[in-house]
Amino acid sequence: MKTVKRTVCDPNCHANPKCGISATIEDGRITAIGAAKYPKPGLEKRICMMGSSRLDYQYHPDRLKTPLKRGGPRGSGQWEAIGWDEAVQLFVKNQQAAIDKYGSRSVMFSSYTGAFALLTRGAASRYAALTGGTVGLPSGIDYGVPTGLQYMFGVPAYTYFAPGSHQFADMANSKVSILWGINPVVTRSVDHLPIKAARKSGTRLICIDPVYSESARLCDEHISLRPGTDGALALALAHYLIDNGLIDEDFLRNHTDMPFLLDGYEDKKVWCSTQGKAVPLDKAQTPALTGSDKHITVFDAFRDMVSAYTLPIAAEITGICADVIEQLANTYAAAKPASIRLGYGIDRWFYSDCTARAIAALACLSGNIGIPGGGVSLSNSPPSVPVRGSAFYAPEGHSPGGALTMMDADKAVRTGKPYPIKMECISLGNPFNQLKPGRTDILTDYIPNLDYLVVIDHFMTDTAKQADLVLPACTIFERTDIVVDSILQLQQRMVEPVGEAKSDFEIFALLAEAMGHGEWFSGTPEDYIAKMLDIDDPKMADVTIERLLDEEVIDVHKRKEPWYGFADRKFPTGSGRVEFYKPGQAPYGSELPVYREPIEASPKNPLFKKYPLVLLSAHSRYRIHSTFANMPSILAREPEPIMRISPQDADKRALADGAIAKVQNDRGTLKIKCKVDEAIRPGAILISEGHWTEQFIEGDPYILTHDQYSETAQNYAHYDVLVEVSAA
Ligand code: SF4
């Protein structure tokens, strides 16, 4: 018998909403998949090539089918298939040993972003709460920009600025839109069509990127800059706007901390030009943007700081002609409403928080905040459907023993501080591929410090290969769950799991039972989904599990116009205003969004003589990080890793198209096929991320990155890497 059922594709791809997939099932097996319809008017069914490969994925011969116990040394590839009883016994025996010796929080549950379904993501956290374990947070990459935006606008970094951003569809309201370090044609493939529509309807599009990307080709103008110098460009634009009176003083006075005095900042003191003295804001008749000889405002300090970034100096730093910078400033200032779209190209740098603040400053200086067609946006997401995730993540009366960011977790594993992590259970991620930088060090001084490593996955990934125990997980067709973004969608089990695979929910339920906490996982997935939907919010009044099982997709917002943030001009900061000045950043010298050279990829670095090329590792159109890298339909399109290099740099090194190149720095060496490509700026090379290490001829690019992380950006600097290339 043939049936058709609906589920949802849910990897870390930024699609919003995630794409519905309809699957044809015959005799208990999926035989075809395609894009599923949405009930929401105006939302067309869509699917990208990765979503289309989900059928390959489901029945891939390499799917893990049983639990596997390591049979030889770690990483040796020797495995013994075992049953679930033994797997559970091994897990809890090792967990109990770690608890007895080091305490319950020495066992860390690191759940990454390979899936966004809530039970699947939350099962590890729930179990960690029940057993007092540590929750490993998936911060550390793509976190610098949200963190910088949090400093300014108060929106928590973990929301990726969704509440403050504008949807792509709002770009049709912009006269000008700047795509800054973002390549949405590739990274937001199913969502980028409104950008094309905006251009057709007259929005002028400008792309700022060292690479002439697929998105740059959509734009009216492409501005190429030296990688990592975006902050200097932003400060030069800010200087130009201020110097030429192209700023919205009312916005700055009424909605930002610009009038606050540095010597009375916490008390919101301002300089009142009518009274001629410093007074609290609520007592001021006319708060001034500039203070007096003795009382400096935030605006004064910011203006003085950016005055160093004249056009010639910015041109020298960024490699952009001064007249292009001047023209950009004039175009942006003259075109209200104007929008800026940020991407992760500016994120993977040591000072990415400052860069985000400097760019966001432009939107504030020009008064482009809280208006249709304006804004500085990181996300394309309107606020999510409100559900009570904590009803599942945080079982009543229990809480995890700790929560560590990826950087703090790395420290804890390596140094035992702030407390030792001795066992790790990794799910929904492949962090030992490209995510954790400095892979060689990961293999030599991270993994050996773990007494026991468990990985839950569908395939034997680079991370799973290092494990002591590998547990086979269910796919989107084999589990019941919900995916929550701008709409609510049901993910439903429609076929039996391949082999003995189990859903993350089922795996942690088994473990909880073995650890004496079985009653906390005794409900069905539907029971816990019902609890999450039971929330005191008028929009959710008629949303029940029964309705969701029946309708499969529910649009609770019923929004017709594109979302844009801060329409009420209310900012969740301490002052209730946009905050340019952050006294807490004083230890780092970044009370204001200063520019600093990249920590490694700078001509000022003595290493630059030996390694003069910047290694960029952007997202690929063929993978979501490392997910789908082993799908036959994807490999048919990009069979092997490629290094893209400019004709100038290729000539200097006698490298022809298709030649095998050696890419190296002091951390390692990689051999890879090269493609001579005019789209790449001289001085940089591009190897897109996510290929599995076994797919490289020799070495891999993940050993070339370093693991210096920024405490203020809460981020690793994956792009801030120097290399040299030669013929292999
Ligand atoms: S991977 Fe592709 S099909 Fe799946 S949700 Fe993302 S954009 Fe949609």
pLDDT at 382: 84
Print the SS3 string covering 449-502.
HCCEEEEEECCCCCCHHHCCEEEEECCCCCCCEEEECCCEEEECCCCCCCCCCE
CA end-to-end span of the chain: 56
9 lines ligand 1 (CB under 6 A): yes
Q: 337 with 371: CB under 8 angstroms?
A: yes
Alpha-carbon distance values, 636 to 629, 632, 657, 689, 694 (Å): 11, 6, 20, 17, 17
48 lines ligand 1 (CB under 6 A): yes
15 lines ligand 1 (CB under 6 A): yes
Tokens standing for 676?
């001579």
Hey, whose CA ends up nearest to atom 3 of ligand 1? 51
Residue 46: other Cβ atoms inside 10 A? 17
pLDDT at 294: 92
Q: Could you tell me the strand order of the sheet in which 481-484 lies?
A: 481-484, 488-491, 553-554
DSSP 3-state assignment of 656? Answer: coil
Q: Is 656 exposed, middle or buried (0-12, 13-18, 19+ CB in 10 A)?
A: exposed
Residue position matching structure tokens 């492949």: 430
Q: 390 with 629: CB under 8 angstroms?
A: no
How many Å lie between the centroid of ligand 1 and the Cα of residue 16?
A: 9
Q: Could you tell me the strand order of the sheet in which 469-472 lies?
A: 79-81, 68-70, 469-472, 452-457, 423-427, 107-111, 134-136, 402-404
Angle between helices 322-334 and 311-318 (to 10 degrees): 110
* Residues contacting residue 34 through CB under 8 Å, at least 6 positions apart: 21, 22, 47
pLDDT at 631: 96
d(CA 267, CA 282): 10
Q: What is the CA radius of gyration of the chain?
A: 26
51 lines ligand 1 (CB under 6 A): yes
DSSP states of 72-116:
SSTTS--EEE--HHHHHHHHHHHHHHHHHHH-GGGEEEEE-SS--
How many Å lie between the centroid of ligand 1 and the Cα of residue 29?
A: 22
pLDDT at 438: 84
d(CA 500, CA 536): 39
50 lines ligand 1 (CB under 6 A): yes
Angle between helices 230-243 and 322-334 (to 10 degrees): 60
Tokens standing for 305?
């700081």
Hey, whose CA ends up nearest to atom 8 of ligand 1? 19
Atom of ligand 1 minimally distant from the CA of 628: 1
State the DSSP code for 627. Answer: B
Q: Is 567 exposed, middle or buried (0-12, 13-18, 19+ CB in 10 A)?
A: exposed
Atom of ligand 1 minimally distant from the CA of 21: 3
360 lines ligand 1 (CB under 6 A): no
Give me the average pLDDT of each 10-residue run along the chain (728 residues): 95 92 97 90 87 97 98 95 98 98 98 95 97 90 94 95 95 98 93 92 97 96 98 98 98 98 96 95 95 96 98 98 98 97 96 98 98 96 90 93 93 96 97 85 93 98 97 98 96 97 98 98 97 95 96 89 95 98 97 97 97 96 94 94 98 97 96 98 96 94 92 92 97
pLDDT at 249: 98
Which domains are present in the chain? Answer: 68-140+391-476+499-535 (3.40.50.740), 606-727 (2.40.40.20)
Q: 232 with 349: CB under 8 angstroms?
A: no
Tokens standing for 78?
């020797």
> Measured in whole angstroms, how far is the alpha carbon of residue 269 from the centre of its chain?
37
Residue 44: other Cβ atoms inside 10 A? 10
Q: 611 with 705: CB under 8 angstroms?
A: no
Tokens standing for 132?
């007092």
Tokens standing for 59?
């029945």
pLDDT at 228: 98
Tokens standing for 694?
């076994």
Tokens standing for 719?
């792009």
pLDDT at 41: 67
Q: 102 with 418: CB under 8 angstroms?
A: no
507 lines ligand 1 (CB under 6 A): no
d(CA 212, CA 686): 12
**Phi, psi of 118, rounded to the nearest 5 degrees:** -70, -40
How many Å lie between the centroid of ligand 1 and the Cα of residue 13?
A: 6
State the DSSP code for 157. Answer: G
Sign of CA dihedral 599, 624, 161, 211: positive
47 lines ligand 1 (CB under 6 A): yes
Peptide bond into 17 cis (omega under 30): yes
124 lines ligand 1 (CB under 6 A): no
d(CA 620, CA 626): 10
